Amino acid sequence: MEYPTLLPRFLKYVKINSRSDEHATCFPSTQREVDFQKVVMQDLVDLGLSDVHYNQQAGAVIAEIPATTTTIVPVIGFLAHCDTADFNSENIRPQITKNYDGQSKIQLGDSDFYLDPAIFPHLHDYQGQTIISASGDTLLGGDDKCGVSELVTLAEYLLAHPEIKHGRIRLAFTPDEEIGTGASHFDVADFGAAFAFTVDGEKPGKLDWGTFSAAQFELSIQGVDVHPAVAKGQMVSALKIARDFQNSLPAKEVPEQTSGKEGFFHLCHLSGTVDHAQLEYIIRDFERDGLETRKQMIRDIVDRLNATLGTSRISLKMHDQYYNMADELKQHPEIVDLARAAYRDLGLKINEDPVRGGTDGSQLTYMGLPCPNLFAGEENMHGRYEYTVLESMYLAVDVLVRIVSRLAEAPIK
């Protein structure tokens, strides 16, 4: 169904810069995230939700939609993140293309950039629908202000329709998902849900309960810089060592040459001189054993190169980021079944392909809050070509309503 306040709410939210910062040393990582959360928090208060508060430990806004049934129903939670990714988020100017013909290119503002179905064929799926994009020099922010808008709209709709029976519903609006640090601070006890769903996915029908397992590592390489005229036997180029390390990794196990359940190594950042170089990588694999094998490969390469150099010129720092939530959610199939049933009720074709990434739910599931991910209608995330579809957002709210209704009809034990 249509929700008249959803579009204006979304447009208001995306115009507010709430980008996180991976280089920050504070939590949440930016004040602008907190400022945006204050806007959301006031909207929740104005709607009349219960227990609206800011949890300092979690850096999250928490609220409750009270139960409308006396039946004993498990407390369900929904989460959406308030930060946007590391692309220009200042002065976002959303544009609306109504009744899209499914074939034409959509110019992004007055820029030289277009949403082109020849490049993004999923645009063909949205003939006759409303496309919301940005102006070509910023992202849109639908990741995850789609989810934020949908949760607030869900609250507004359920409060206006007490005849819809449901148990207690807890909502959380979290920071720093895009930099992978927000969920680690989450206060599961204060949230108080038996299980939850993040609302942070792609097109209608996408249901995520399997993700990569992930690690990150940094290399610091110390070279010896002398004048090239007298370099023989003295110079040790940190940049050459960096190149040797990169060339020691499997050449085809990179994001641009893998798909499906294939893992990869990804060089995210490289800076340096002859004297010193710094490299930052992420490792991804769907299997925990596969992740450990990849991590050991890194250690072995570092040890071999240091042995060849005759001293420890390469230092390694490595840590795990999150694990495949499927390993835990297989023990709670009834939660995924609840979402499947809601999707089917709405005639959606379900896509359960594992996520080639992670969500806050990856960490939350291992923190004792089983947490699959639902679609929110986000497309082409993290860049100037990001867009969403209004009808997809309507469907996302429909799914949320159906999930809480089904849970009241047949409570999970």
| Residues catalogued as catalytic | 83, 177
CB 339 within 8 A of CB 406: no
CB 79 within 8 A of CB 199: yes
DSSP result, 344-413: HHTTPPPB-PPBSS--HHHHHHHTT----EEE--EES-SSTT-EEEHHHHHHHHHHHHHHHHHHHHS---
CB 395 within 8 A of CB 377: yes
What separation, in Å, do the N-terminal and C-terminal C-alpha atoms of the chain show?
30
User: What pairing do the DSSP bridges indicate for beta strands 95-97 and 213-222?
Assistant: unpaired
d(CA 387, CA 237) in angstroms, rounded, equals: 44
The phi and psi torsions of 82 (rounded to 5 degrees) equal -95, -15
CB 411 within 8 A of CB 71: yes
The phi and psi torsions of 60 (rounded to 5 degrees) equal -125, 145
d(CA 373, CA 80) in angstroms, rounded, equals: 10
Hey, is 138 helix, strand or coil? coil
d(CA 261, CA 298) in angstroms, rounded, equals: 20
